[in-house]
Each structure stands twice: as structure tokens, then as C-alpha cells.
Amino acid sequence: MNNWVRENLWRHVLAIAVCLFSLFPLYLVVLSSLSTNGSLHLTSFVPTEFSLKNFRFLFNSPKIPFMHWVQNSLVIASTVAICSVVIGAASAFAFSRLKFKGKKFGIQLLLLVQMFPAILALSAVYVIMERVYRFAPQIGLGSQAGLVLVYLGGSMGVNIWLLKGFVDSIPAELDEAAKIDGASAVQTYWLIFVPLAAPVLAVVSLLSFIGTFNEFILARLFLVEMDGRTVAVGLQQFIGGQYSQNWGPFAAGSILASIPIVVIFLSLQKYIVNGLTAGSVKG
């Protein structure tokens, strides 16, 4: 017993302390969403009064289109996730397996672009999309379609490099066997690469969805209309002003907005675990 206390007790104490430290912000958000005063100030860690008025405020207030914000976020994040997987997987397969002119320069250019912080291009992107709005307002500044294009442009480099590394780990003998059987490059892509890459494709789609769903800076810059905002931009107005520190509705909205991410993560958990344990090549 003394040996266990001396060797293992500190590990358990450290693990419990880290867990408590990590869970405290979530606990504070939950208490704030159920608080009656709508603030982050807690008189006790175990409050005696709970209220659902913050949740009712989000759904009943005519000036707060909360469901529109959630719908916009889901549409934008889902579109970016699907397009990122489709375009990124095809590009990674081409860079890894096909031979074409400019292949080496193209993949090096993608790597070079990723070295610069995305915030450096913020002003340039704003000017470009503002000019696009003049002749194509459907994909210009202030449109959700334009925001999707900007998201795709910023995430393609990382996704292509991630997927290319996965494709490089797939033995080339599989491609050669497919060619002997008469399969074309497209058939090799759909029949060999896509089934084997299902775990990493799930990871890419999940990361793209979460990153887009939670993104604030570009969404705040692009989306001006109240009904067209994402949930991250919409909830910011509760705490953005000097006299509008409504932490109760903000916390309630944050909890409700996290539900789609949790559901998607649990749905793709099997593929993520398979990708981490089984590897890319299955016998």
C-alpha cells in the first residue's frame, strides 16, 4: 500500500486536477445558461435556482433568429466539409499517383502558401470579394456562397497535403495490380483509394466541419445581414457591446450550437478509430 501511494497516488491526483481544470469552463457555461441573472458571476458552485429563460429567449425573441443562424452554420460547414473531401481527395490522388507537367511545382506551391498565416490575406480577400460583388453578387462580399469559396481556398492546401501523405502510404502494387486487370486511373481512384481512405476522409471532413462551424473572423467580415449570419457571429452580439453583456443567452446558444458537432463526431467515431488503429492498408 505504501508503495502504491508513493508511486501512483500523485499520478491520480494530477489526472483528477487536469480533468477538473478542463471541465470547469464547460461547467461554468452550463451554470450560466441556467442562471437567472444572466451573468458569469456565481455566488456558489452549486446554485439553488435554475431557469430555462435563456433558452426560451433564443427561440421566442423575434429579434433573435437563432435557428436561422444554426441553419446557416450547418449549411456552410457541411458544404465546405463535402467539397473539401471531394476536391482534396481527387487532388491528393493526382499529386501522388499521376504524372503530369507542373506536378512538383504545384505541390511545392501549396506548401509555400501554407507557411504564411491566413490573417495576412484577410485584407486582400476582402478587396477581391468586394470587386467580385460588382459583377457577381451571388458569390461576392456578403454572400454565403462567397464565404464558402474563401473557406475552401484556405483549407485546400492543408487537406491535400494530409491526404497525399495517406495516399503515399498505400502500396503502389495495388495500382499495378489494378492496371493489369484493366482498371483506369478513375476506377483505381474509386475502387481502391476511396475505400482505403475512408478513415482519413472522415477525419478531414470532421476537421473541416468543426473549423468552419466555429470560425468567426471571416464570417463576421462577410455576413452582414442578421438572418444570414452564422451562429458564431450571431451569438457574439450578446457580449460584443459595452452594455450588452448577456452571458446567459450566449451560454445557452453555445450549448445548443455544440450539439451538431457532438452528433457528427459520434457518427464518425468508428472511422476515426479505425484510421488510428488499423492503418491505411487492409489485408
Nearest residue to 247 (alpha-carbon basis) of 91, 28, 94, 60: 28
The pLDDT tens digits for 230-278 are 998 888 888 776 546 778 888 889 999 999 888 888 887 777 766 555 4
The three three-digit cell numbers of residue 41, written as one number: 458571476
- The CA-atom distances, in angstroms, between 189 and each of 93, 97, 166, 199 are 7, 10, 13, 15
- Over its length of 283 residues, how does the chain's per-residue pLDDT go in tens digits? 677 667 778 888 899 999 999 998 888 888 888 877 766 666 666 666 778 888 888 888 888 888 999 999 999 999 999 999 999 888 888 888 888 888 888 888 887 877 777 777 888 888 888 888 888 888 888 888 888 988 888 777 788 888 888 888 888 888 888 888 888 888 888 888 888 888 888 888 888 898 899 888 888 888 878 788 899 888 888 877 654 677 888 888 999 999 988 888 888 777 776 655 544 444 4
Q: How many residues does the chain have?
A: 283
How far does the chain reach from its first CA to its final CA, in angstroms?
A: 47
Whole-angstrom distance, CA of residue 234 vs CA of residue 225 = 10
Q: Residue 65: in which H helix or E strand, if any? A: none
CATH class label, 66-277: mainly alpha
Closest by alpha carbon to 51, among 60, 38, 70, 64? 38
pLDDT at 44: 62
**Cα(151)–Cα(72) distance, rounded to whole angstroms?**
14
Q: In this predicted structure, what is the pLDDT of residue 278?
A: 46
Which amino acid type is present at position 201?
L
User: Where are the chain's structural domains?
Assistant: 2-58, 66-277
- Coil vs helix vs strand at 187: helix
